[in-house]
Every structure is written in C-alpha cells, then in structure tokens.
Amino acid sequence: MATLGMSAADKEAIEAFRRDVVEPSMTSLVILDFWAEWCGPCKALAPVLEKVAADYADKGVVLAKIDVDEQKMIAAQFRVQSIPTVYALFQGQLVADLTPARSESQLKQMLDQILRQLPIQGEADRMHEDIAPLIAMGEEVLEAGDTERALSIFAQLIEMAPEDAEVVSGLARAQIKAGDVDAADALLAGVPEDRAKEAPIARAQAALALAREATPLDDLGGLRARIAADPDDHEARFELAGGLMAADDRDGAADQLLESIARDRTWNDGAARQRLLKLLEVVGLEDPWVREQRRRLSAILFT
C-alpha cells in the first residue's frame, strides 16, 4: 500500500497491518476478521473464530481482527462491503473467503482444505519432525518385542507431544503389548473425534479391537487336533487364530485366517477376513509382511 499523502493515523494503521497481518502470513495462515462493535453477527461469530484459531494454532493458523470503523482504509483496500467478512491470507495474498463458514465444523472443513494445499508448517509439524527419529526408534523396539523399552520411549514422547497421532498410537500399542488394555483404551478415548480417523489412531484402535478378541489359550494343541479331524471347522480355526495372535504369532494367525477364507469366505459373515484385515492394519499397511499377506488374500479372492 502506498503511503504518500496519507495522514499519520492512516500510516500507523498500515504499519500495524503489515506487522500484525502481512508479516505473520509469510509463514502462517492468517484468518482476517473484519468486524465492528455495533455488529451483532460479528459478535456472535467471534467466539467461533477464536476457538478454531486456538484449535489450529499448532497447525500454523493465527487470527487477526480489523475494526472497520477504526481501520477504514484497510477495509477499503479489501473492498469490504458488509460485515462480518472473513478472509484467509497467506504470504500477503488473499487465498480464500471464509465468510460463508458460520459454524465451527464449516470453518474447520474449509481450513483443512486450505492447509492441505499450502506449504504451512505449524508448531505440531515442527515438533513431529524433531521427534520423528525417536518415534521410529520406538516402533523398531516395539516390533523387536522389547515392550518395556518401547513403553519407556513412548511415555517420554507423550510428554513432549501429547497430541501427536503417531506418538499416541505407539504408546497405546505398547500398552496393549504389555497387557494393559484398559490404559490403551483410556488413552485412545481421549483422542478428539475429528482426529480419531487418522491412520495412526485407526491402527491403534484396530490393535485394541484385536486385543479384546484375542484370548490367550493354554491348549492350542486341542484346537489343532479339531482342525486336523475336520479342516472345515472354521470356529476352531478362528479360535486358534485368536490364540496365536495372543501369543504374538502373526504368521500362524494369518495362515489360519487365510485358510478359513479360502475354504469359506462367507463363514460367520466374513469374520475371518475382517479379523485378518484388522491384523494387517495393526502391523502397518506399508510393512512388507502386510503386503505379502495382502497378495495371498488377493490370490484367494480373485482366482
């Protein structure tokens, strides 16, 4: 904005706008709220904007408010004709009109779409990058079967990044491995609803569901004998798969479930397939072992 011929008040307003809006927008997404003291709808919308901005602060979102009566020049530059008017700015440029969003869910949906398209790194993203090597270490230790050490690693990480989905997932799965299913259940129950569908949380939820289903069995031999006598005893195979999962024998469990699917994929409304898919999700969909089991499942289903 040119400042030649402007009053001191206008120059001060422009400088404040550059400092409070343009400069933060270089690295953050700025929600720009045009409002006035006399505007009832503005006052009704304000708490929604403040809450969403607070919820999205760690994603690189900040809120700036422009009183159209006190900062007429700024409002004129943005051609604000009615209020409330709400824009989103990034790197000094208007990137979206948020005015149609009047509810928390609508505003969050619009912000999610915008943030997916812009190179904005919030505090949560920076923290995740910092602790990523430690998360990887925890996953490796957990996969190797050192549950106690994995618990220790993820317990320390949860103190550093309590809302990081991968940290929450790692700690929950370590707790499940340690046999503390109730602690994992409580941890996952505390995840906000809008984040519960994130892949790491879904993975932990699948692990929790399997832990509820998988029952340690003292006599796996009895189930094997039943299957040997009747290979189509799907109930015995299903129980054996649960016992093998409880014993951390994922190969054995997968073999039993795949054999059951091959013999009768519709048994018990596809229970064997559903349990197998949960097992694969728990291990991790990018894991080479999972890819191999998916290949085996596809061979059964499509040949």
What are the residue numbers of the active site?
Answer: 39, 42
Phi, psi of 247 (to 5 degrees): -90, 5
Map tokens 């912000």 to a residue.
111
Q: Which of 115, 112, 187 is nearest to 157 (CA)?
A: 187
| Non-local CB neighbours of 283 within 8 Å, separated by 6+ positions | 250, 289, 290
Strands of the sheet containing 85-90, edge to edge, are: 61-67, 29-35, 85-90, 93-97
Q: What is the spatial distance between Cα 177 and Cα 156, in angstroms, rounded to a whole number? A: 17
- Count other C-beta atoms under 10 Å from residue 120's C-beta: 18
For residue 61, give the H/E element and its range.
Answer: strand 61-67
Q: What is the spatial distance between Cα 243 and Cα 275, in angstroms, rounded to a whole number? A: 13
The CA-based dihedral angle spanning residues 107, 111, 112, 113, taken in that order and rounded to the nearest 10 degrees: 110
Please name the amino acid found at residue 45: L
